[in-house]
Each structure stands twice: as C-alpha cells, then as structure tokens.
Amino acid sequence: MSDNPHLWMRAESRPTERRAPLVPEDAAHLTSQGVEITVEESTQRAFPLDDYLTAGCRTAPAGSWTDAPGGAHILGLKELPYRPAGLSHRHIYFGHAYKGQSGAGELLARFTAGGGALLDLEYLTDDTGRRLAAFGYWAGYVGAALAVLHQRGRLRTPLRPTDLNALDALLNEPGENGSALVIGALGRSGRGACDALVTAGLTPTRWDVAETATLDRSALLDHDILVNTVLMNRPTPPFLTHADLDGPRRLSVVSDVTCDVTSECNVLPVYAELTDWDAPVRRLRDGDRPADLIAIDNLPSLLPVEASRAFSAELWPLLATLGGADPVWARCLGVFETATAGTGTGNSRAAGDWADSDDSQAHEGKEYADAR
C-alpha cells in the first residue's frame, strides 16, 4: 500500500442504496491529512456531490472506478456490478463472500482473475476480533420499526428513505402493543431494535447468549413479534423452524435483520428469498393465525443520513491508516488471502462464536461480531 492512499468512492449500483460509507464532513478530515479522495457522481446518494467538493474531493462519473489508477482503493458498501470479470483494485465494501453465500465463489474468482483484493468491511476488526465500523444499530432499529408498523397495519409500501423524526412519529402513533422478542439484545443491532420497540411503546423481551444456550421454544412462539439480530459462524440448531410455524403459536411477524438466508449457518431456515423495498413483507403461513416475514438486507439505507454519519465516524480514522502498516488492514487482507488460497473459509472468528448482526463486544465468554 502506498504512503499516500487514494480513496475512490464509487456510486452504488443497487437502486435502493442511499447510504455513503464516507460522509462529506469526514472526507474533509481525510483530505486535510493529505488523503486523495475521488467521489463518483450519484443520483441516489443522500449527500450532495457539492459537499464533497467543498471537502476537498475530486469527482468522477458514476461507474468510472474501473479506470481508476491501479493504486486506488475502491470504497463502497453493497454489491459490485457483474462486470468487469476480473477485479484489479483493492475494494473496500461488504462482500459477504466468506461463509459460502450465494455467488461468493464467483466473486472471489473475479478478484483472483484480476489480481485485486477484497478488504471486507465485515472483517475490519481489532486484535480481539471486535468489529470497528458497523451499521448495526440502525439496521436493528429499522428492522424492529418495520415489524411494529406491519403488525399495526400501518406499513406503507413501497418503502422510501426517511429520517429518524419521521419514523419515530409513525412509531409514536397510538396502536396495538403486542409482545416482542429481540434475540441478540446486547449487541449493537439488538440495542437498536430494543430502542425502536421502546419508542413504539413496547417493552421487549431481551434474549442473548445465556437465554439461547437452551432455547425455550414455547416462550419464543408466545410473542407477537420476533426480531433476530444474530448470525452464527457455524451450523447450529435453528431458532425457528417450519414445524414451529405449523404448530400452536402467537408469533405473527418475523423480522430477520441478519438476512443470512443463503448460508448453512442460518438460524431462521423458514424462508428462501429476501424481501425488498417494493415488497417488504412475505406471507409464510396463511390461515387463522398468519405469519409474515420481513428480511431486507439494506435496512439502514431507509435512514440513510443517520446511518451513514454513524458508520463514517467509525470508518474514517481507519481509512487514514491505509497507506501504513496498520495491523487492522493487514488482518482484513489476510482473511481474503486465506479464502482465495483455498485453505479455509476466510472466517476470522473462532468456531462456535455467536455473531451479532452488527456489533462486537465480549460477553459470557463469547465474541460478538458485526456482520453487516
């Protein structure tokens, strides 16, 4: 890595992605330290391009990262376009390629073909495995908020980006106060989910490692809403099964913040496809007691300004060290090298770790790690 890093923030290709990994005020911190930043034009980013110019950044057309200088680090959030076939740069984004997810092998093959590398934001950790930059709080907040609004019959579709004041105003409207369970309540995503439920006037049941060591399935099914914020790093008995949905239950809304649907480690194997902004809810069971699913994999983008600012505040100091010998980035690169060498899954967490969908902290001897 060069002594003077060049960051190239690409336009997101997903139409519903409004977030930015680096916001203008934090870009200004970096440019003042001599970091060169190029920001692609975008019609959907929540932050105006002029604000990046004011921060000392250069601009480039959307999608021009393919022609960026070879030493540039391409910064983004969600999936890359399918072309070019070979990826020659070092890319910083959420690749979701180390646990056998759908398309993971093809993505890693593109890096191998082009000689580039993936610096996956999910694996940007300190020496204890703690995630250093995460969107988890807002993922949990939005996931729980959507579940409440749907349960009350007030979820407006298609979904559109909003701000926290507007979302909280909807949650504060009088409505049915059912019971809600958050699994992973001590993590960042779990805390966000619990805060949203409290804002809506609910008192959530909070489960974490201790409460799921021996799962009380009947207690889980006796809640109206389930919000899951936990990812597993190895196959484990699921929290919810098809048999549970077919049997006696109170549960009617499942909000899966983790969206680990294509992984063998999925703890909610009751669905096979994600939902999205146009159709955020899918019916899992009909009948006298229907069961519905919300599983949107870019929840924080519904609060793009709040989520981006929180994430960027954690990320920008790390981006300032790209040109040095920071062990944070070396570990991140090492995960990619392990994965592409075929010597392992690329999962840097110890087997048996319980991974919160967007946090990392030590608790009960287990390591929590952000996954999104």
**Cα–Cα distance measured from residue 229 to residue 183, given in angstroms and rounded to the nearest whole number:** 6
**Does the active-site annotation cover 78?**
yes
- Choose, from 73, 89, 96, 223, the residue flagged as catalytic: 96
Whether the CB-CB separation of 284 and 291 falls below 8 Å is answered with: yes
Q: Which amino acid is at 343?
A: T
Nearest alpha-carbon partner for 311 in 358, 343, 344, 244: 358
Helix (H) or strand (E) holding 39, with range, is strand 36-40
**Does the active-site annotation cover 96?**
yes
Angle at 234 between CA 232 and CA 235, to 5 degrees: 95
**Cα–Cα distance measured from residue 257 to residue 69, given in angstroms and rounded to the nearest whole number:** 37
Number of Cβ within a 10 Å radius of residue 365? 6
DSSP bridge partners of 283: 292
Give me the half-sphere count of Cα atoms (radius 13 Å) on the Cβ side of residue 103.
8
**Cα–Cα distance measured from residue 75 to residue 42, given in angstroms and rounded to the nearest whole number:** 14
Count, in order, helices (H) and strands (E) of the chain: 11, 16
Nearest alpha-carbon partner for 103 in 230, 284, 237, 262: 262
Nearest alpha-carbon partner for 37 in 23, 17, 16: 23
**Cα–Cα distance measured from residue 147 to residue 196, given in angstroms and rounded to the nearest whole number:** 10
Instruction: Please write down the long-range contacts of 365-370, taking CB distance under 8 Å and 24 or more positions apart.
Output: 366/209, 367/128, 367/129, 367/130, 368/184, 368/186, 368/187, 369/122, 369/125, 369/129, 369/130, 369/131, 370/122, 370/131, 370/134, 370/135, 370/136, 370/188, 370/189
**Cα–Cα distance measured from residue 129 to residue 201, given in angstroms and rounded to the nearest whole number:** 35
Which amino acids are annotated catalytic?
A: 78, 96
